[in-house]
Structure 1
Amino acid sequence: MSISRIDQLEQNLRAWLLRTPVLSLASSLGAEDMVITDLICRKNLPIRIFTLDTGRLPEPTYRLLDRIFEHYGRRIEVFWPAQEDVEELVKEQGVNGFYHSLAARRACCGARKVKPLARALSGQQGWITGLRRDQSPTRSDLVAEIRDEGHGLMKYSPLLDWSQEEVWAVVKEYRVPYNALHDQQYASIGCAPCTRAIQPGEDERAGRWWWESSHSKECGLHVVSETATQE
């Protein structure tokens, strides 16, 4: 099963490269994005890979960046939030103000994630994500290709119909490096203060912003595409 899935993934990436040659993978460093990273590196595809360092990532995530370089000989490009944005955020809401309200949490994600993503995507023709439909209720309507009007480029989600089991089958088969927190029941990993392990029966993103409603659990990186025109 994993071989056919990988073949289809490679075909999709090559097809998208022909349509949008200036193409990037926006990696969260989660298992899904590591599957895509592994294929890009093994096949030497001309796809840029970047990640966002919010300044509050857990230590195992930083260790994974080192392992990626050791395994593939490739550095992942890192984008950070602007210092002035973080200073203003902390001045307004404190260090952990995101716990106090949805608006405060979204403001934090805006400064630490959304703005850096916009800088990372500047000049690109398309971007790739590791989103899957069954990760949470907010992602059930994903499509593989969509025009991201918010950033003015194409957005691709090649793993949208993969299951969690299929992702991990590929990780094991190809010995893909992954975040050690996954072995501690962290299904979705973001900033350290906003991420916890999940319990049996919970959806994969239940450990993200666990104090909020399940229908608000997006940081804003993917919300901009909701009104996009499907291609």
Structure 2
Amino acid sequence: MSSALPSPILEVPAAPEALLAEAGGLKDARAEEVLAWVEARFGARAALASSFGVEDMVLIDLAKKHAPSLRVFTLDTGRLPPETYELMDVVRNRYGVTVETFFPERARVEALESTQGYFSFRRSLEARKECCAIRKVEPLNRALAGRGAWLTGLRREQSVTRTAVEVVELDRDHGGLLKLNPLAAWSQREVWAYIKENAVPYNSLHDRGYPSIGCAPCTRAVKPYEDERAGRWWWESREHSECGLHPVR
């Protein structure tokens, strides 16, 4: 680990800003260095939020080598493609990882579908955000409760809504948690090079033109000239292509 990185300590600073300052040396660190620091600093109190896209698979593989205590959780919206579930099982068997699964609250999903139907999210931006809030945002709040930090596979190159993503961020929406995006500066080419060089398993939908994979009704394959997240909520403007898990400031 480079000398510019912060030294690991065992107690979380009381003030979120102090935690952010402590991790400041990670700004330009390699993904391996970020994960090694997370292991030393948080151990099992840190978790990777995984939708099992290609970036998350890179991080799961790197964590096996550099942050073996890192927990992995996923948000099962109830509408994921079967290929995603198949990959989850591959991950469990290959890496020996327990995938902590968080579902939306049953009563809220039942009320949504009973009163608004099964495709309400296509009616308006507000209706789509309501669906995402029920199926993703609320479960994420429970998934992050009690954590010291969380990691994501966000990259700046993915879309216009992610160009300002930093390797280290302060997640004020969840009480000042440290949020780390180790692949923020990676290109799509670099991600796939790692996958191929390390024989990392990945979602078979990627081979069918799906660079970004979410809920089945809200995801499609993209055209060669489209950006990586053009297949997510494609009926909306590109600046809206987030579900609320990663608010655009």
Q: Same fold (TM over 0.5)?
A: yes
Aligned to 2:14: none
| TM-score for both structures, normalised by structure 2 | 0.85
SS at match of 1:90: helix
Structure 2 portions without partners, runs of 5+: 1-28
How far off its partner does 1:43 sit? 4.2
Q: Which amino acid aligns with 1:125?
A: G
Residue pair 1:28, 1:51 contacting (<8 A) in 2 also: yes
Give the whole-Å Cα distance in 2 for the aligned partners of 1:44 and 1:211.
39
CA distance in 2, matches of 1:86, 1:169: 39
Q: What TM-score do the two structures reach when normalised by structure 1? A: 0.91
- The counterpart of 2:81, out of the listed 41, 55, 58, is 58
Q: % of aligned pairs identical?
A: 53
Comparing 16-25 and 185-194, the one that deviates more? 16-25
Which deviates further from its counterpart, 16-25 or 196-205? 16-25
The question of 1:92 aligning with 2:115 is answered yes
For 1:170-189, what aligned pairs fall within 5 Å after superposition?
170-189=194-213
Q: In the aligned structure 2, how far is the partner of 1:27 from the partner of 1:171?
A: 16
Question: What amino acid maps onto 1:176 in structure 2?
Answer: V
Indicate how the Cα distance of structure 1 residues 210 and 219 shifts in structure 2: closer, same or farther if over 3 A, else same. Answer: same
Counterpart CA distance in 2 for 1:46 and 1:54 is 26
> Equivalents in 2 of 1:88, 1:17: separation in Å?
41
Structure 1: unaligned runs, 5 residues or longer: 1-6, 227-231
Task: Give the number of aligned pairs.
Answer: 219
- Alpha-carbon displacement from aligned partner over 1:71-126 (angstroms, at most 9, x marks no partner): 11223111111101101211332111101110010000000000000000000011
Deviation (angstroms), 1:44: 5.5
Matches within 5 A, 1:72-83: 72-83=95-106
For residues 34-49 of structure 1, the aligned pairs below 5 Å read 34-43=57-66, 45-49=68-72
The Cα RMSD (Å) is 1.4
Quick check: 1:93–1:104 contact (8 Å CA) kept in 2?
A: no
- State whether residues 78 and 103 of structure 2, in contact with CA within 8 Å, keep that contact through their aligned partners in structure 1: yes
Q: 1:15 aligned to 2:50?
A: no
Distance, in Å, in 1 between the alignment partners of 2:52 and 2:140 is: 15
Give the SS at the match of 2:174: coil
Q: Please list the CA deviations of residues 122-159 of structure 1 after superposition, one character each: whole Å capped at 9, or x if unmatched.
A: 00011000000010000011111111011011101110
Say yes or no: does 1:118 pair with 2:141. yes
Deviations 1:187-224 (A, max 9, x none): 0000000000000110000000000000000000010x
Corresponding position: 1:164 with 2:166: no
User: What is aligned with 1:215?
Assistant: 239
The yes-or-no answer on 1:127 pairing with 2:150 is: yes
